[in-house]
């Protein structure tokens, strides 16, 4: 349909790498629990992603070096989040001009520091749009770039075509993200829709570790689960 074609063109022109429409109805109660009635009132989402620069992610094992930490926080976090926020605003305006309610969700604003969660899960939207699967690191894993992608979502009532379906988990027996975590925040359990995130991930341990890194180096940088995923590393070499 024309409105979706316009969204894809807008996202592509902004230099984004991923876009898809998601039907949120299977996750409505989860969305309500995390973000409240407003977030749960939208039946669909546009998921938008930008792949991170491999040359920056590949340096994360050396993140104690200030140049590496600054490069990651700048060009693999702050700048890409700004780009995502801008394109989400454009997409929301396009939808509103067409007469549809639309809510752009900030790319990196957390409503709970210890839980490390936002008002809406961008990874959930990308998963439901068929752009990837939820890995043992609780990151969204894509066939094209592994977990090396940042995401944003625009919630909407527009009757968008939902062509993608959630991908089946493909991590298999791999535990590299689990084993490399400095605080062993991951249990190694595969994603199951009927389980809380806490069954797979200790967000408080991750939060405390990042606070300690900020105290020691001035930068909240880890990203080892992002770095180590074999699929992302293969794409980096390829």
Kindly report, residue by residue over 112-128, the tens digit of the pLDDT: 545 556 789 999 999 99
Res 30: pLDDT: 92
Res 216: pLDDT: 83
Largest CA-CA distance found in the chain, in angstroms, rounded: 52
Tokens coding 190? 């595969």
Distance CA 159, CA 169 (A): 28
Distance CA 132, CA 168 (A): 8
Do residues 138 and 203 make contact, with C-beta atoms less than 8 angstroms apart? Answer: no
Closest CA to 120 of 110, 129, 130: 110
Res 44: pLDDT: 97
**146: alpha, beta or left? (left if phi > 0; alpha if psi -120 to 50):** left
Q: What percent of the chain has pLDDT over 90?
A: 82
Number of H helices, E strands in the chain: 11, 6
Residue 229 has pLDDT above 90, yes or no: yes
Residue 183 has pLDDT above 80, yes or no: yes
Higher pLDDT pick, 104 / 164: 104
Give pTM, 2 decimals: 0.94
Lowest-confidence segment of 42-56, 127-141, 199-213 by average pLDDT: 199-213
Res 117: pLDDT: 66
Q: Domain range for residue 42?
A: 2-237
Buried residues in 194-212 as b, exposed as e (16+ CB within 10 A): eeebeebbbbebbbebbee
Number of domains composing the chain: 1
């Amino acid at each position: 349909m024309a409105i979706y074609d316009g969204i894809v063109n807008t996202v592509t022109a902004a230099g984004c790498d991923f876009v898809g429409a998601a039907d949120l109805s299977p996750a409505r109660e989860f969305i309500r629990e995390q973000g409240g009635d407003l977030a749960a009132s939208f039946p669909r989402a546009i998921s938008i992603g930008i792949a991170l620069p491999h040359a920056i992610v590949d340096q994360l094992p050396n993140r104690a070096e200030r140049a590496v930490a600054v490069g990651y926080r700048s060009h693999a976090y702050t700048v890409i989040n700004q780009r995502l926020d801008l394109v989400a605003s454009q997409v929301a305006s396009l939808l509103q001009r067409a007469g549809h309610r639309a809510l752009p969700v900030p790319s990196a604003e957390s409503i709970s520091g210890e839980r490390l969660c936002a008002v809406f899960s961008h990874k959930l939207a990308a998963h439901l749009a068929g752009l990837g699967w939820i890995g043992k690191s609780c990151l969204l894993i894509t066939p094209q770039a592994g977990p090396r992608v940042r995401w944003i979502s625009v919630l909407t009532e527009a009757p968008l075509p939902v062509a993608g379906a959630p991908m089946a988990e493909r991590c298999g027996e791999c535990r590299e993200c689990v084993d490399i975590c400095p605080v062993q925040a991951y249990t190694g359990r595969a994603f199951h829709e009927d389980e809380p995130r806490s069954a797979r991930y200790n967000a408080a341990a991750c939060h405390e570790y990042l606070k300690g890194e900020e105290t020691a180096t001035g930068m909240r940088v880890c990203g080892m689960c992002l770095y180590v995923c074999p699929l992302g590393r293969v794409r980096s070499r390829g």
